[in-house]
Structure 1
Amino acid sequence: MGRKRDTPTIRRRTLLAAAASVGGSSVIGTATAKRSERSSRRCPEATIEPDAAPCDGASTDGCADDHPTTAEFRERARAAIEDQYATVGDLLDRGFVPYFDAARLESENGWSHWLHPAHIGDDVVLDPGRPEAVLVDNEFWRPIGVMFIATVDGDPVERPPVLYAREDAESETTDDSPAAGRRCSPWHYHRGLPGRFAWKYYRQVYEHDYREGDLSLPCRTPCVLHVWTVPHPDGTHAHGAPPPAERGGPPANDPGFETDVDPAETRLGWGVLPDDVVPDRKPGELLDFW
């Protein structure tokens, strides 16, 4: 169990890459798309294309990169990356597992999610030193941010905690909260098929949901929140990844594990990782199953 924290905490489980899939629809086969259409009555808000929506109570109206809380989260996340998660080898050594969106694997804009099952399974979230996920640029093998997941005992939190409310911003809305209109609570969930599939893939491969007979895709992912540690034109908590030009150019990071691959010449992906961390069935091989 996690220790008591000063920052808001919630517990247990997560999603793998709710964050995942800008452009992920190109990997989805026709059969999968048709099955998704047939399931629309079960998941009326779900889409086939990548799509995300704000979580209940979410707001970015009060978010500002120069706000002390945002600055603290960003600097703590950056320090954790530098001290603990600087290389892919560090991630492997510390128990993170990779997810690569098949559509973006060879893309110059490619980035991947590295999930930590133990962090996902404890009662701590919103701790930049112990993130549920580290976000990695595939071109230069470089961590570029962290991702938090909002769940309690495996169940999604419908209204995740607010990061902060800006007292210096005027509210022009009425709501059940006096901070309405000036909250910074940038949580979002994924309802598009790529993100839903990514979460299901994680649960099947690393949490073995199939053993409980659960083979269906979820209607949506739990809520997630990003903290980018490199410059982002849309802000520290932006939904999408920063442009490649903002992720720090060459040289590529050292692999951090023994390999004959040169990161300066090869993008990060399944094929360059040690055999013992590559799952038997990769995402592209399971898409038509669902």
Structure 2
Amino acid sequence: MSDSGEIDESRLSRRTVLRAVSGTVALSVAGSGRVSASGSGSGSGSRGDLRSLFDGRCPDATLQPSMGYCADSSTAGCTDDHPETVELQRAVRTSLETQYPDVGALVDAGFRPYFDVFGGGEGWSHWLSPAHIGDEGVVDPERPEAVLVDNDSWRSIGVMFIATRDGERVEPPTIYDADGAVGGDDHGDASGHGKGHEEPPANDPSRCAPWHYHAGLPGRFAWWFYQQVYAREAGGDVTADTDVAFPCRTPCMMHVWIVDHPEGVYAHDGPPPEYRQRPPAEDPGFETDATPGEDELGWDVLPDEVVPDRKPKSFAAFPFDR
């Protein structure tokens, strides 16, 4: 989920694929050898299984971070001073400041952490709510699917709305158009995925729908990990024999930042460190030897009940950190 904001339309070369299937990249799955073409996990760990992560089933998949715009996305009409943007950011800020101000509050509210395993981290982390991802809302500031946290101050700095309904991906809604706010509950049953366009495929200067998806391995892996571990824990099926299918793309997603951002309220990339500086959380909110503002937020400072039995690095084996 930390994929770079730049659109990467490159395809995997034959050499890259061969390096992947020969062991340079390996994704192991609990209860099986590797992720299979269907994602069911054959247990064989064969080269064919891993090659399937990058074959014709996922034509725009890359090993590198990459993203694309969802099918009905439009950024041309999105401005920070538009009344609907101002109101949405205000509602998000109110929600974060009153309900989810810091990591302690997120732990209490049932959010689960994800720290990027491939990119080495960018100083901020995603905290996902299985309950909110599994409900019927999409753009609900009081029930964001994910909260974005600064790992230095341990404070919330934005949200990530994910276009899912009852846990299943759906077509994302328009935020506003020429007639004003459209809202977050008008969504259908489609995936909403475009074809990796460098410009939003439905760009319209009178409409704002800044939704993107991830096709790069880091983002796809992050969503797969959420489904494989956190969603199963929430659903009580942690002993399931089959594995979650490794996705070609993530669902459509949209950020709303409450801190200043040089690229705007809806920017895909995280804010630079100087824009994230905030007073550290006064109290971690749980028992830990770490101190916000002095110790970086990570798996090692969190309470046991928040840390999954298998962390992301136990599923992903890379010979180097990127």
- Report the counterpart of residue 176 of structure 2 in structure 1: 164
Aligned partner letter, 1:30: T
The answer (yes or no) to whether the contact 2:133–2:166 under 8 Å persists in 1 is no
Distance in 2 of aligned mates of 1:254 and 1:231: 24
2:35 is aligned with 1:20: no
Aligned partner letter, 1:218: P
- Residues 54 and 38 of structure 1, relative CA distance in 2, 3 Å threshold: closer
Aligned partner letter, 2:82: H
Q: Which protein, 1 or 2, shows the higher relative CO under an 8 Å CA cutoff with sep ≥ 6? A: 1
2:98 is aligned with 1:83: yes
- 2:108 aligns with one of 79, 87, 93: 93
- Report the counterpart of residue 222 of structure 1 in structure 2: 251
Matches within 5 A, 1:182-201: 182-201=206-225
- Residues 264 and 248 of structure 1, relative CA distance in 2, 3 Å threshold: closer
- Residues 288 and 260 of structure 1, relative CA distance in 2, 3 Å threshold: closer
Aligned partner letter, 2:56: R
* Aligned residue pair count: 256
Distance in 2 of aligned mates of 1:38 and 1:96: 29
SS at the partner of 1:147? strand
- Residues 140 and 38 of structure 1, relative CA distance in 2, 3 Å threshold: closer
- Report the counterpart of residue 8 of structure 1 in structure 2: none
- 1:121 aligns with one of 117, 120, 134: 134
- 2:311 aligns with one of 260, 273, 282: 282
- Report the counterpart of residue 102 of structure 1 in structure 2: 117
The answer (yes or no) to whether the contact 1:21–1:101 under 8 Å persists in 2 is no
- Report the counterpart of residue 269 of structure 1 in structure 2: 298
SS at the partner of 2:26? helix
Distance in 2 of aligned mates of 1:152 and 1:110: 30
- Report the counterpart of residue 143 of structure 1 in structure 2: 156
Higher helix share: 1
The answer (yes or no) to whether the contact 1:87–1:254 under 8 Å persists in 2 is no
- Shift of residue 93, structure 1, vs aligned partner: 0.5
Deviations 1:161-205, CA, capped at 9 Å, x for gaps: 11012469xxxxxxx98x934210000000000000000001111
Deviations 1:42-64, CA, capped at 9 Å, x for gaps: 21111110101000010100001
Distance in 2 of aligned mates of 1:22 and 1:37: 24
Q: Point out where structure 2 has 5 or more consecutive residues left out of the alignment.
A: 6-19, 28-46, 181-200
TM-score relative to the length of structure 1: 0.80
Distance in 2 of aligned mates of 1:265 and 1:180: 45
- 2:144 aligns with one of 127, 131, 147: 131
SS at the partner of 1:183? coil
- 1:56 aligns with one of 64, 71, 91: 71
Deviations 1:199-244, CA, capped at 9 Å, x for gaps: 0001111123872623431100000011001001111001111111
Distance in 1 of aligned mates of 2:114 and 2:86: 28
2:25 is aligned with 1:31: yes
SS at the partner of 1:207? helix
Distance in 1 of aligned mates of 2:163 and 2:102: 26
2:81 is aligned with 1:66: yes
- Residues 58 and 253 of structure 1, relative CA distance in 2, 3 Å threshold: farther
2:228 is aligned with 1:204: yes
Structural RMSD (CA): 2.7
Aligned partner letter, 1:43: C
SS at the partner of 2:162? strand
SS at the partner of 1:125? coil
TM-score relative to the length of structure 2: 0.73
